[in-house]
Structure 1
Amino acid sequence: MKAATANEMREIDRIAINDYGIPGAVLMENAGVAVVRRLEVVVEPLIDRKFCILAGKGNNGGDGYVIARHLVNQGAKVKVFLLGEKTAVSGDARINLDIIDRMGIDVIEIINERDWDKVKLAATFADCLVDALLGTGFRGEISGDMARIIDIINAAGKLVVAVDIPSGVDADTGRICGTAVQAAHTVTFGSPKPGLFLYPGAEYTGELTVADIGIPTAVIARQNIKQNVIMASAVRDILPCRSPAAHKGMNGRLAVVAGSRGLSGAAAMTAEGALRAGAGLVTLAAPASLQDILAVKLTEVMTKPLPETATGGISQEAVPDIAGLSAASDVLAIGPGLGRHEETAAAVRAVIAAADCPLVIDADALNALVGYTDILSECNALPVLTPHPGEMARLTGLSSQAVNADRINIARQAAAEWGSIVVLKGARTVVAFPDGEVYINTTGNAGMATGGTGDALTGIIAGLIAQGLSSHDAAVAGVYIHGLAGDVAAQAGMVGMTATDLIKAVPAALYGIKSY
């Protein structure tokens, strides 16, 4: 499913109106009707229910006037509050404002303090508040009267339905511009917007409905929208089909280079994640001193001891051994638990530069690339990088706060600059490709905020590549499967959930997707 930015949606509207001759008033009518259809479901029955519609001076407010008309026609009791004066409303919004004026619907201009008292009183006794204040084109910080009315909406404790997007949420990034309407439901039009899926905006969106308002599908297709939301059906279609006569060699050979003294768990979870994702043969290469520990931890995984440093990480002498292992493998996952010793980091860079097979690069292997991202261009296959915001911050020289504030653009720019697939982990993981295409993942939950879940993702993506998926498809499918496995595991409770619980749930997640 495509997710259009504010500028893309503005252009889509313009083409629909100017090139196809669809009047803006028709689109506004369809938008308002779509919201009323949703209200029929969440506030049932409409008759005699009290609605308070908070409207701005633009087209979002115009949608609100359409909503008011249809609600009244169905027997609801409606008050409309306009933040400003009627004389400031123009265009299609003015047409619909004049209609409800003629219908005798109560439209109150919020101008003086007495008007603010009316808003508070109406919100107190309403069954539902409709946010029609700001649309997707808003930029800047919420302040003044707009902040005041949003605070009234949020303090009322009522069911809130947002029109197109909760006012105060940035449509492109999900950033909250000072304050924002906390909606229980949002009805968005034509195409969803990225900010409805990205946190913190996703937390304000509530249950999302994408409504068709009559824009021709060809108009949306013409925009070449590069933001996508990962859907179960798309993942199902790219997952490998296993032959009834399959044997382990047909399901891929995967090498994992991971672990150091005190960090053997990261290595084990990466290898287990790969197995649970369906890889046929997994070999874990780790410092020799970990051999006994890993042999106890892992039953189905083969292990390969590597030369190590005095501090228990892999040494430069391990590079030839890893090169031989990667040459015999379909994919190499490297990084979890390797530690940050400089000799280990140098060995990692040597392995990345010389690897013959596709790479999945995570954790300490990413830290080894800080200041050395140019070597990614030497890779024989498009590498997959899986940084969390802190690792991304180190790689880009930004703060983790800056990374999270603009996840799509930061990941997109990095993917283009490094010639790599960038999987920016976190709540709503983003997968970016060098051509600018971006995928937003919506599976997963707060129970995954625990050590080791990132290592599991590395193993899952690598396990899919081992089975023949392209690095592109494996990254997209991997993040969805990873999040869905977390959702399956969370059915037993999020608090106290572990990465091992998630890993064990991967087969159930895969089965669910294939049965979708």
Structure 2
Amino acid sequence: MARVDAAAAATGQDSFGLMLRAGEAVAAAALRLYPQAMRYVVLCGPGNNGGDGYVCAEALARSGTAIAVFHCGDPSRLSGDAAVARAAYSGVSQDIANYLPADGDVVIDALFGAGLARDVPSEVAEVIHRVSSARIAVIAVDLPSGLDGATGQVRGAAFRAARTVTFMARKPGHVLLPGRDLCGEVEVFDIGIPWRQVAAEAGPLCVNGAALWHDRHRALDAADHKYRRGHLTVFSGPDIATGAARLSAMAGLKAGAGLVTMASPAAALAANGVHLTAIMLARLDTADDVEAYLQDPRRQNFVLGPGFGDPERACDFALRLGHAGRCLVLDADGITAFRERRDRLAAAFDGKATRLVVTPHEGEFARLFPEIAKDATAGKPDKALAAASALGGVVVYKGADTVIAAPDGRAAIEEHAPPTLATAGSGDVLAGIIGALMTQGLPAFEAACAGVHLHGQAALRAGRGLTAEDLARAVLPL
């Protein structure tokens, strides 16, 4: 956004005019949302976010409301548009350390915006604590102060806003956790910068949604048959650990695969057979069995890992699938099997088309990408993109703010998955959904994005108290 602002100024737009529109939009939001406020308290920072605050304060003063303004840093050192805004403010301001919350206050937080990249000063942290303890409503300008706009992480301390007013577009910190929870409801206000200038600086990071896969999804056709809809194979674990793979297989069938086969070791055939009806069953014990199974060219898409156990067999099977040109969703034990041998996985699935999707949670991500996981300065999208580049496959970095990243630099953040997904077996269901979408012809990145979306929607349908079995039953196709 700093580059967008600079581009707007370079093309002749009045940068102070943009600040006026931003500050007055915040004032309008405050009057609309909290008309009962006894006093609006505007906290102004040492940069352009503070300039927005001074504009907001002047607009509120003109409306006849009671206001108080507190500054962070020396306001005489302000420069540029922020200094102009400060000079245009007709009232006085006090040092922020003097602010003591009072009943009836509404705080307008214009201290630090999305560009914050350091911990907030101690005096700001103290005010944040006071406001939080007093349960004073906060309206944040751009982003709650203390949040890193690139990562959504807290820099020492951060306000919890009831409403955030940002400009032109949301930032990653509005969507990633814990930022998403601290922003409250986010209102995006167009301050008049031409959208082409915003789009020119926008990276490939976006919010997950149907626009990402809609044009690549093939709708059902009257001439379709089960093989045209795709054949998904899910590898089963041993006889005492078959449930996870069955969850993946059922989810794959519900998500629209034409047929699903459970590839089971001999010892688990009886356990799987007694539970399976629409899902077919095949015996695959050894690498030779896998090679024979791959002689059928219709068997193109696989899920490996849920409940699989045996890391050596998992590694062997996955590499054979890769060298045979097949597509694979690698989850759970399959991911762990490639700890310290990720390069072999990347080499097996190397090629023009992306054929590999891995779906790690936090711990599995650290096992497969230890050098990336330990970078405390990188946000979740940056880590996911680095991992996808290193692997040459799509990475679904799971969590309450799941990030889907492709090796070509595209990334999406899922923001609608409910917390009920934090249950055993949920990830197994997700792997099956993604596998099914790949069988239907969606490319790996689009299949992963759509799969994460369908997974969240199924959880919303299943409601509170869901189990993984409920989740698999609630899956619907695209």
TM-score when normalising by structure 2: 0.93
Partner of 1:187: 165
Q: Which of 422, 435, 440 is the aligned partner of 1:449?
A: 422
Residue 266 to residue 405, structure 1, CA distance change in 2 (3 Å):
farther
Residue 238 to residue 212, structure 1, CA distance change in 2 (3 Å):
farther
The amino acid that maps onto 1:500 is E
Q: Which of 129, 136, 140 is the aligned partner of 1:158?
A: 136
Partner of 1:286: 264
Partner of 1:21: 12
Q: 3-state DSSP class of the match of 1:186?
A: strand
CA contact (8 A) 1:412 1:433 kept: yes
1:268 Cα deviation from its structure 2 partner: 0.4
Note if 1:33 corresponds to 2:24.
yes
The amino acid that maps onto 1:96 is A
Q: 3-state DSSP class of the match of 1:209?
A: strand
Partner of 2:343: 374
Residue 292 to residue 429, structure 1, CA distance change in 2 (3 Å):
same
Written as runs of structure 1 = structure 2, the 5 A alignment for 1:237-256 is 237-256=215-234
1:132 Cα deviation from its structure 2 partner: 0.6
The amino acid that maps onto 1:169 is L
Partner of 1:333: 303
CA contact (8 A) 1:35 1:163 kept: yes
1:449 Cα deviation from its structure 2 partner: 0.8
Q: 3-state DSSP class of the match of 1:428?
A: coil
Q: 3-state DSSP class of the match of 1:95?
A: helix
1 CA distance for matches of 2:12 and 2:4? 13
Residue 249 to residue 133, structure 1, CA distance change in 2 (3 Å):
same
CA contact (8 A) 2:151 2:378 kept: yes
Partner of 1:58: 47
Q: 3-state DSSP class of the match of 1:243?
A: coil
Residue 38 to residue 502, structure 1, CA distance change in 2 (3 Å):
farther
1:199 Cα deviation from its structure 2 partner: 1.3
Q: How many residues align?
A: 474
Residue 250 to residue 345, structure 1, CA distance change in 2 (3 Å):
closer
CA contact (8 A) 1:130 1:162 kept: yes
Partner of 2:93: 107
1:408 Cα deviation from its structure 2 partner: 1.2
Note if 1:323 corresponds to 2:294.
yes
2 CA distance for matches of 1:41 and 1:289? 67
The amino acid that maps onto 1:334 is L
1:501 Cα deviation from its structure 2 partner: 1.8
Gaps spanning 5+ residues in structure 1: where? 1-8, 308-314
1:437 Cα deviation from its structure 2 partner: 1.5
2 CA distance for matches of 1:457 and 1:404? 29
Q: 3-state DSSP class of the match of 2:173?
A: helix
Residue 84 to residue 126, structure 1, CA distance change in 2 (3 Å):
farther
2 CA distance for matches of 1:351 and 1:228? 34
2 CA distance for matches of 1:424 and 1:322? 31
Q: Which of 59, 63, 70 is the aligned partner of 1:70?
A: 59
Partner of 2:194: 216
Residue 60 to residue 403, structure 1, CA distance change in 2 (3 Å):
closer
The amino acid that maps onto 1:319 is V
1 CA distance for matches of 2:234 and 2:66? 64
Partner of 2:455: 482
1 CA distance for matches of 2:348 and 2:316? 15
1 CA distance for matches of 2:105 and 2:250? 51
Query: 274-283 vs 355-364, which deviates more?
Result: 355-364
2 CA distance for matches of 1:353 and 1:86? 61
2 CA distance for matches of 1:239 and 1:158? 48
Q: 3-state DSSP class of the match of 1:297?
A: coil
2 CA distance for matches of 1:235 and 1:183? 33
2 CA distance for matches of 1:467 and 1:400? 33
1:399 Cα deviation from its structure 2 partner: 8.5
Note if 1:11 corresponds to 2:3.
yes
Q: Please give the root-mean-square deviation of Cα atoms over the aligned residues, in Å.
A: 2.3
Partner of 1:304: 282
2 CA distance for matches of 1:471 and 1:306? 25
Gaps spanning 5+ residues in structure 2: where? none
Partner of 1:3: none
Structure with a larger share of its residues in helix: 1
Q: Which of 372, 386, 406 is the aligned partner of 2:359?
A: 386
Query: Which deviations, in whole Å up to 9, do the C-alpha atoms of 1:147-190 show, x marking residues without a partner?
Result: 11221222220221111011111111111111111112111212
The amino acid that maps onto 1:483 is G
Residue 35 to residue 267, structure 1, CA distance change in 2 (3 Å):
same
Q: Which of 462, 466, 487 is the aligned partner of 2:439?
A: 466
Q: 3-state DSSP class of the match of 1:225?
A: coil
CA contact (8 A) 1:442 1:480 kept: no
Q: 3-state DSSP class of the match of 2:93?
A: strand
Note if 1:348 corresponds to 2:317.
yes
Partner of 1:263: 241
Task: Provide the identity percentage.
Answer: 37
The amino acid that maps onto 1:68 is A
Partner of 1:409: 382
Q: Which of 55, 65, 73 is the aligned partner of 1:84?
A: 73
Residue 34 to residue 86, structure 1, CA distance change in 2 (3 Å):
same
1 CA distance for matches of 2:143 and 2:457? 26
Partner of 1:426: 399
Partner of 1:311: none
CA contact (8 A) 1:348 1:365 kept: no
